[in-house]
Amino acid sequence: MCGYVGFTNTINNANIVLKKMMERIRHRGPDGEGQYIDEGIALGHRRLSIIDIDAGAQPMYNEDGSLVIVFNGEIYNYKQIREGLVRAGHRFATQSDTEVLVHGYEEYGSDILGKLRGMFSFVIWDRNKQELFGARDFFGIKPLYYADMNGSFMFGSEIKSFLEHPDFKKELNETALENYLTFQYSPTNETFFKNVYKLPPAHFFIKDKTGFRCQRYWKVEFEADEKPELDEWVNRISDTMHDSVEAHKVSDVEVGSFLSSGVDSSYVAAIAGVDKTFTVGFGTDERYNEIGWAKEFSKAIGKENTSKVITPEEYWGILPKIQYHMDEPLADPSAVALYFVCNIASEKLKVVLSGEGADEIFGGYNVYSEPGGTAYDRVPMGIRKQIGKLCSKLPARRGLNFFIRKGKTVEERFIGNAYMFTPAERKALLKIKTDAPHPMKLTAPFYSEVAGKDDVTKMQYLDLHMWMAGDILLKADRMSMANSLELRVPFLDREVMALAQKIPTRYRVTRKEYTDEKTKYITKYAMRKAAKKDTPPQTAKTAAKKKLGFPVPIRVWLREEKYYSVVKEKFTSETAEKYFNTELLVKLLDDHKNQIRDNSRKIWTVFSFLIWYDVFFLQTKEA
């Protein structure tokens, strides 16, 4: 795991600028650094040594030095690919996966991407062609940003490195702000910095004298295979997950595992056989603290658990640093918990396994139970639409939202796991005017790719392409790298996805079998059964446990005078006055404090942006 920066070389002091850019991402690779500069390109790399510790330094080259690579990630099947390249006549100088990429590109071109199993973001400079090739992994686990300003094409693992380049112009993308207010993350390929872009997952680019070209090289294809019975799917999931976890343990250093009380991380920890697990929580309330459960689980599987209780002071005190490392504002409260669990893990090792991706791939979010979940769903949509429109005009009242949501198609109501401000609400809240599209225009391209599929599949497909890359994987990469820790995600594996996309919907989200009389549905149904099969009997109850994620008590904190005052100060600041109608912000805060309604997530969305803005536009040094 590492980080890289680079730019097309049009400046006189490239070595000095490159060094400053590399320092901005030192946290991604504290073990070493390397540079390559010629008349056309400047490449810089920061290294966290995981594989071939002694000889795996970057940048790395092919035999004649005509190809130069900088790489962030891990290729889990690099040894198998290497064997084929050796047979084809390639000569290797190291045992690293990085060198497999550069020789693989030399041999196969962009087709090398279809042979890879792993998480990756890399750039290859072809000296002979004066051509730059860049690629990002299938799911977007590893980041790649780029900007073309004043004749300089910049690229790298984190946007903050661009701040050190003399041609970089720092401007807020106000359209991104309006989109963010609905999604709680930046949902498009644009970023919060004007003219800075993300390379989408499963895409590669070519940059040469003729311009910039971007192309998709892989996509998810949900095609249910109705023939196998449930037990066969369970066995297939078990076999595939064992294989994936084993592949994700490839390392020359020790590997540990995160552990919450949910089935995803518990499943990975149970079959990984690692020696150490890590858990965090808040206070003593079991709604916010899973430490006791994690210690019990770890003891049952014979592993050591390290835990930490995060105090409110620690949580609120670290927020500027969190937003600095994110590069773009993210209003997911669990990001802070993830930072701290990465922090305690980094004190003992360099690599951890985690459970990200299971919900998107196997159908785990509670909202996936919504389609067809009630007798009301049998009422014709035309009638439900009329009832929904009527209810939307009535004063807010408990139960009305059910009829409003049921009066919309999934394409009309679902934009992902977070829906903060409606288009009307964000327009009223903002002083600035932007051309931000309606949320449905952003989700429509993904829905069009699964037209004709059932609603659960549509929701999963959307989350795989928007929510997972924009929120889940952003915080996973940034919070782990902020602590110089490599985080690996065995669920986000091509082989796991190839299996999961064939599982019928009834085995992903089902209502046909209940764990007790209160349960109305079961998410990740087949995967939970596989987890029960592979989890020790005394701890198998986790497979039936309701999903919590990283529960954070911000709703409670925001009603305490101390933290209410902290937020109110931000909501009445000069920055807030510049972008928002602050009287509406204060009303959101007051209504929450007075328990008129729970506005905690909306408050947190705006508050997180204001913290981020202060860090990147009002401060001059790292948070």
The answer to whether 6 and 157 have CB atoms below 8 angstroms apart is no
Q: Which residue's entry shows tokens 């294809």?
A: 221
Q: Where are the beta strands (DSSP E) in 288-350?
A: 304-309
The candidate with the shortest Cα–Cα distance to 475, out of 550, 558, 421, is: 550
> Furthest-apart CA pair in the chain: how many Å?
74
C-alpha distance across the termini of the chain, in Å:
23
Q: Tell me, letter by letter, the H, E, C secondary structure of 523-580.
A: CCHHHHHHHHHHCCHHHHHHHHCCCCCCCCCHHHHCCCHHHHHHHHHHHCCHHHHHHE
> How many contiguous H segments (helices) and E segments (strands) does the chain have?
26, 17
Q: Is 176 exposed, middle or buried (0-12, 13-18, 19+ CB in 10 A)?
A: buried
Question: What is the rounded distance in angstroms from the CA atom of residue 273 to the CA atom of residue 425?
Answer: 49
Amino acid identity of residue 367, one-letter, is V
Strand partners, 215: 204
Q: Is 322 exposed, middle or buried (0-12, 13-18, 19+ CB in 10 A)?
A: buried
Question: What is the rounded distance in angstroms from the CA atom of residue 238 to the CA atom of residue 226?
Answer: 19
Q: How far is CA 435 from CA 179, 336, 425, 610, 611, in A?
A: 10, 32, 15, 21, 24
Residues in the chain: 623
The candidate with the shortest Cα–Cα distance to 201, out of 459, 474, 455, is: 474
For the chain, what percentages of helix, strand and coil (3-state, to nearest 5) are there? 45, 15, 40
The three-class DSSP label of residue 145 is strand
Structure tokens of 417?
A: 């796991």
Q: Is 94 exposed, middle or buried (0-12, 13-18, 19+ CB in 10 A)?
A: middle
Question: What is the rounded distance in angstroms from the CA atom of residue 232 to the CA atom of residue 212?
Answer: 46
**DSSP character at residue 339:** H
The answer to whether 9 and 41 have CB atoms below 8 angstroms apart is yes
The candidate with the shortest Cα–Cα distance to 187, out of 334, 328, 368, is: 328
| Catalytic residue selected from 2, 214, 342, 391 | 2
Q: Which residue's entry shows tokens 């904190």?
A: 557
The three-class DSSP label of residue 21 is helix
Backbone angles phi, psi at 452, to 5 degrees: 95, -15
Question: What is the rounded distance in angstroms from the CA atom of residue 79 to the CA atom of residue 390?
Answer: 62
Q: How far is CA 155 from CA 3, 144, 196, 198, in A?
A: 11, 7, 9, 10
Backbone angles phi, psi at 609, to 5 degrees: -60, -45
**391 tagged catalytic:** no
Question: What is the rounded distance in angstroms from the CA atom of residue 354 to the CA atom of residue 357?
Answer: 9
| Active centre residues (catalytic) | 2
